[in-house]
Each structure stands twice: as structure tokens, then as C-alpha cells.
């Protein structure tokens, strides 16, 4: 055998063995998503239970507040937190065991033990610390502290599992630090840290390691791991899921599917300014757009009208801003007030015209697409 290939193969095998023996790689991404959902439910329950008085209770450190008693709050939070923890752990363990079996790895081995110990030391310390704070009545500090210690546990455990866990730990610590100083929003930060971050992390891991292959065009945001894209990912997953369902339901060779194909091929939609999309291709230019409108004289007329309206709006608002610039430069105080109102007025009128232009343009595209469908029969 070629010695080069052979040694490359050997090196790969060594790497694989090293990873398998030292890292716990059965951790399921979906369990992160579930943990996040449970945390959001828990945070929601706490919010519904105490509404706003709950926050005032927390913000009154010496407990002069009447209503729900302090013990009430502590008991509820304790039970709430315990429920979230137990349900997330249960689902996490079930999913992880299932995934481990699928990959042919045992779940309870040296690496998972090490992972657990690495996580448990900071977590247990943090748990005891949080209990002590509950005991002394520092309820408003418990939320950031749980975030901080959880983040430390993740950073500590990241050596024994996927490297992404490290970044999640750092983010938890960051959110915890912010929450330390914005105590009024501790529940929100807690929901972001335990809920949103888990969901984002879980989906990222699921896409990266568990799903076999991404279907094309689906989940463009799935690879990003930034915190902001969390909601977008969730929405995208829902949206793409429903699109898939819709496509599955469509019979492959019916009139509806023909019409749909035709619609996909022939219709257009406009994007910023002069560019438009037809059959998933972006075209640009006034001339091309006008050609597209040739199938529908009515649509073309309306489109030209919308352009005129837009130009009028643009001229008015430009005149307004020119006026305000001149008035500012002139330094004449008497004129300033007049010009101010004129610029506000022109701005409003200008946006009114722009809105009307948008309506006309949307209608024009709609008419054009309807007229494009007329050729369906003829071209079949």
C-alpha cells in the first residue's frame, strides 16, 4: 500500500481514538433545546405567579413589603427551579442515551464521568451559594449567581466534550455579570441565559453534528452561533418545517402542482429599487423590469404611476431637508421655527406619497403576476 495514504489513515484513526476516549461526544443537541424550553416555561410560571409585585418584593431587600410573603416567594422559586432542573435533566439523559446507542458508544464511561465531575464541582458550589443567599434573603442576587456558576461549570467541562460548550459558558458568565447590576431584570436575564442560549446552542449543535445533511436553502442561519440569531433560527425552523409539510401534501402531478410550477417560474417580486426576482434569480435594471411588465399593460400602467408618485414624494422630502439645512446655515432665529415645521410637514407628505407609491407598486406586481398566469394554458 502507498505509505503516504497508509500513514494518513493511521493518523486519522489515532485522532478518532483520542477524541473518543477523552471526550464525551454523545451529548445530544436537542436536549439543550428542551432544557431551554423548560427554562422559559419556568421563568414564565414565575412571572405569572408573582407578576409585578414579585419584582418589587425582590427589590425591597429588607422585606418591608406585604402581599406574597418572602417565604412564599422563596418556596415557589425553589420548587419552580427544581422542576425545571429535573425535567431538563430527564429529557437530556434520555436523548443522550438514545444518541449514544445510535452511535454505538456506551454512555457511562470514563469520559462521561469526568465530564460530570467537572460540571458538578462548580455547580454544587454555586447551588450551595445560591441556597445560602436565599437563606439570608438576597433573592435578587440568586438569578445572576446561578447563571455565573452554570457558566463556570460549562467552561470547566468544555475540555471533556464539544468545544462549543466553552463559548456557551462564556456567554452565560457574561449575561450573569450584566444581570448582577441590572437586578430589576433578573428574571429576563435568567430566561435569556437559561432559555434562549440553550435553544440557540442546542440547535447549533444539532445542525452541526446530528443532522445528516442540510437540505439546500433551509436554515441559512443555522450555522451561526451568535446569540442574536436565536429567535430567527426558531422562526426559520418553524417556517421551513411548514414549507416542507406544504410541499409534501402537494400531489406531484395535478393541476395544482402544474399551476404552482408555473407560478414559481413566471411570477416576479420586487426587491429594493429596480431589482426583482424571477424563478429564484435576481435581475436588476429598469429595462428588464419594464420587459417583465410587457405581459400586462394594466400592470405596466400602474407601475409607471407608482414610480411617478414615488418621485413626487422624493422631491418633496428632498426640498424639505434642503430647506432645513439652509435654515440651519442661515442662523436666522426667526426663520428657524418656520423651517422646522416646514421640514416636518414635507417629511410627512413625502412619506405619504412614498406609501401610496408602495401600494401602487404592490398592486401593479400583483396584476402583472395574475396576467402572467393567463398564458399558462396556451404554453402547456
Partner 1 sequence: MEWLEKFNKVFESKIRLGLMSVLVVNDSLSFNELKELLQLTDGNLASHLKALEEIKYIEFQKQFNGRKPLTTYKATEDGHKAFTEHLQVLENMIKQNL
> Which residues are near partner 1 by CB under 8 A?
3-4, 7-8, 10-11, 13-14, 17-18, 20-22, 106, 109-110
Give the C-alpha separation, 166 to 162, whole Å.
Answer: 8
Nearer to partner 1, 13 or 53 (CB): 13
Least separation in angstroms between residue 10's CB and partner 1 is: 7
Give the C-alpha separation, 90 to 31, whole Å.
Answer: 9
Nearer to partner 1, 4 or 380 (CB): 4
Nearer to partner 1, 113 or 308 (CB): 113
Buried b / exposed e along 333-349 (16+ C-beta atoms within 10 A): eeeeeebeebbeebeee
Among 37, 36, 77, CA closest to 168: 36
Q: Are 218 and 240 in contact (CB under 8 A)?
A: yes
Nearer to partner 1, 21 or 242 (CB): 21
Least separation in angstroms between residue 104's CB and partner 1 is: 10
Least separation in angstroms between residue 13's CB and partner 1 is: 7
Least separation in angstroms between residue 14's CB and partner 1 is: 4
Among 220, 156, 141, 242, CA closest to 186: 141
Least separation in angstroms between residue 64's CB and partner 1 is: 55
Nearer to partner 1, 3 or 251 (CB): 3
Nearer to partner 1, 10 or 351 (CB): 10
Distance in angstroms between the alpha carbons of the first and the last residue of the chain: 58
Least separation in angstroms between residue 16's CB and partner 1 is: 9
Nearer to partner 1, 20 or 278 (CB): 20
Q: Are 9 and 78 in contact (CB under 8 A)?
A: no
Q: Is 280 exposed, middle or buried (0-12, 13-18, 19+ CB in 10 A)?
A: exposed
Q: Are 282 and 289 in contact (CB under 8 A)?
A: no
Provide the 8-state DSSP code for 212: S
Give the C-alpha separation, 234 to 97, whole Å.
Answer: 25
Least separation in angstroms between residue 124's CB and partner 1 is: 22
Give helix 3-22 / helix 110-136 axis angle, nearest 10°.
30
Amino acid at each position: 500500500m502507498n505509505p503516504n495514504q497508509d500513514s494518513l489513515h493511521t493518523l486519522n484513526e489515532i485522532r478518532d481514538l483520542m477524541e473518543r476516549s477523552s471526550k464525551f461526544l454523545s451529548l445530544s443537541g436537542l436536549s439543550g433545546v428542551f432544557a431551554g424550553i423548560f427554562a422559559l416555561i419556568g421563568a414564565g410560571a414565575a412571572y405569572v405567579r408573582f407578576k409585578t409585585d414579585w419584582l418589587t418584593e425582590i427589590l425591597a431587600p429588607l422585606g418591608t413589603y406585604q402581599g406574597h410573603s418572602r417565604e412564599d416567594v422563596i418556596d415557589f422559586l425553589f420548587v419552580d427551579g427544581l422542576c425545571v432542573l429535573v425535567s431538563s435533566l430527564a429529557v437530556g439523559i434520555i436523548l443522550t442515551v438514545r444518541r449514544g446507542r445510535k452511535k454505538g458508544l456506551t454512555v457511562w464511561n470514563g469520559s462521561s464521568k469526568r465530564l460530570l465531575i467537572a460540571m458538578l464541582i462548580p455547580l454544587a458550589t454555586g447551588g450551595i451559594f445560591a441556597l445560602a443567599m436565599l437563606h439570608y434573603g438576597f433573592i435578587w442576587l440568586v438569578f445572576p449567581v446561578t447563571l455565573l456558576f452554570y457558566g463556570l461549570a460549562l467552561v470547566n467541562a468544555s475540555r471533556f466534550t464539544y468545544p462549543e460548550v466553552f463559548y456557551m459558558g462564556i456567554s452565560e458568565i457574561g449575561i450573569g455579570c450584566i444581570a448582577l447590576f441590572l437586578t430589576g431584570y433578573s428574571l429576563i436575564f435568567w430566561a435569556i441565559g437559561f432559555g434562549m442560549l440553550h435553544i440557540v446552542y442546542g440547535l447549533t449543535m444539532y445542525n452541526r453534528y446530528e443532522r445528516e445533511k442540510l437540505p439546500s436553502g433551509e436554515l441559512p442561519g443555522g450555522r451561526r452561533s451568535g446569540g442574536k440569531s436565536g429567535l430567527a433560527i426558531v422562526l426559520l425552523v418553524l417556517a421551513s418545517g411548514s414549507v416542507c409539510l406544504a410541499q409534501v401534501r402537494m400531489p406531484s402531478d395535478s393541476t395544482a402542482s402544474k399551476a404552482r410550477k408555473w407560478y414559481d417560474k413566471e411570477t416576479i417580486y420586487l426587491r429594493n429599487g429596480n431589482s426583482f426576482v424571477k424563478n429564484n434569480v435576481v435581475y436588476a435594471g429598469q429595462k428588464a423590469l419594464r420587459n417583465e411588465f410587457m405581459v400586462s399593460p394594466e400592470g405596466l400602467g400602474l407601475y409607471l404611476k407608482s414610480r411617478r408618485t414615488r418621485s413626487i414624494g422624493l422631491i418633496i422630502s428632498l426640498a424639505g431637508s434642503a430647506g432645513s439645512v439652509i435654515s440651519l446655515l442661515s442662523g436666522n432665529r426667526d426663520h428657524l421655527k418656520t423651517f422646522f415645521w416646514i421640514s416636518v410637514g414635507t417629511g410627512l407628505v413625502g412619506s405619504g406619497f412614498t406609501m401610496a407609491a408602495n401600494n401602487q407598486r404592490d398592486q401593479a406586481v400583483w396584476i402583472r403576476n395574475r396576467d402572467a398566469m393567463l398564458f399558462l394554458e396556451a404554453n402547456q
